[in-house]
Amino acid sequence: MKRADLHMHSTWSDGSMRIPDIVKLSKLLGLDCISVTDHDTAEHLPEAAAEGARQGVRVVPGTEISAFDALTGRKIHILCYLASRPQLITEICRPYLNERREANRGSVGRIRAAGYAIDVDDAERYVGEGGVLRRQHVMHALADRGYTDTIYGELYDKLYGKNGIAAAQSRYMTAEDAVRLAKEAGGLAVLAHPFQYDSMNALPRLVDCGLDGIELVHHTQTPGRREAVTQAAGRFGLFMTGGTDYHGLYSEKMLYPGQLEILLPDDHILLG
């Protein structure tokens, strides 16, 4: 059995830690296998593979695709593992990321107009290798200027919650298209944190599009929810996976890699 954390994020998207540091920390914490699943890009995969080989940690190539349910309007995230054509994910997702970057730049202007002394340059100091300004970077800038002591919390809810001055609409692909993209890229498609965005009802549609797996272990999964996921996995023939959804300083729930342990048999499909 392998101790694994197959859901983490780095400075290539909305995490605060660089990939070499994530791999090092994972090794120190005794993990055998990890996946850095940065959002809507595969540009992090070469660095992740190289660091895994250098530090002796098995790294499963992964990406998390941001999408939405066209029937409910809710978010849905699809994890893609082991893509043989990962550049396709980067290519298809790049226009969405460009729009989000510009939307977040506009949000900073509204935050500044509301009396908070930050500008785009301040926020973009925290942008990593991915080059896309995200909400977490804006909140980091606000924290460093003393407006809050947390990334998530009262100020985040005020600015980015419903009717918040920083809330911005961005385009997302449908969840069905995200599954199809993962499959077209030669990867395995997994429904991420199915209860965080109340995504369980979408399972039949996603399975029809080629969904391969579902995330069992996540900080939003209670024992009852895990049981529901286990039953659904059996019903639809899905493999199960999981992880901490680690974002470093930017984590919604502060967990260390592997703190929500998942044990994978040596012949698990992601290790094959």
Whether residue 119 is found in the same domain as residue 181:
no
233 in a domain, yes or no?
Answer: yes
User: Which pTM value belongs to this model?
Assistant: 0.95
Whether residue 77 is found in the same domain as residue 24:
yes
What does the pLDDT read at residue 105? 95
Whether residue 75 is found in the same domain as residue 25:
yes
Phi/psi for 44 (5° steps) reads -80, -15
Residues 128-181: tens digit of each pLDDT = 999 999 999 999 999 999 999 999 999 999 999 888 999 888 899 999 999 999
> Domain holding 54: CATH number?
3.20.20.140
3-state SS string for the chain:
CEEEEEEECCCCCCCCCCHHHHHHHHHHCCCCEEEECCECCCCCHHHHHHHHHHHCCEECCEEEEEEECCCCCCEEEEEEECCCCHHHHHHHHHHHHHHHHHHHHHHHHHHHHCCCCCCHHHHHCCCCCCCCCCHHHHHHHHHHCCCCCCCCCHHHHHHHCCCCCCCCCCCCEEHHHHHHHHHHCCCEEEECCCCCCCCHHHHHHHHHCCCCEEEEECCCCCHHHHHHHHHHHHHHCCEEEECCCECHHHCCCCCCCCCCCEEECCCCHHHC
What does the pLDDT read at residue 253? 82
Whether residue 134 is found in the same domain as residue 251:
no
The total domain count for the chain is 2
Asked if the model's pLDDT at residue 37 lies above 90, the reply is yes
Domain holding 238, by residue range, is 2-92+170-271
What does the pLDDT read at residue 254? 80
Whether residue 88 is found in the same domain as residue 120:
no
Residues 58-101: tens digit of each pLDDT = 999 999 999 999 999 999 999 999 999 999 999 999 999 999 99
Whether residue 8 is found in the same domain as residue 81:
yes
Whether residue 124 is found in the same domain as residue 61:
no
196 in a domain, yes or no?
Answer: yes
Whether residue 174 is found in the same domain as residue 264:
yes
Whether residue 15 is found in the same domain as residue 130:
no
165 in a domain, yes or no?
Answer: no
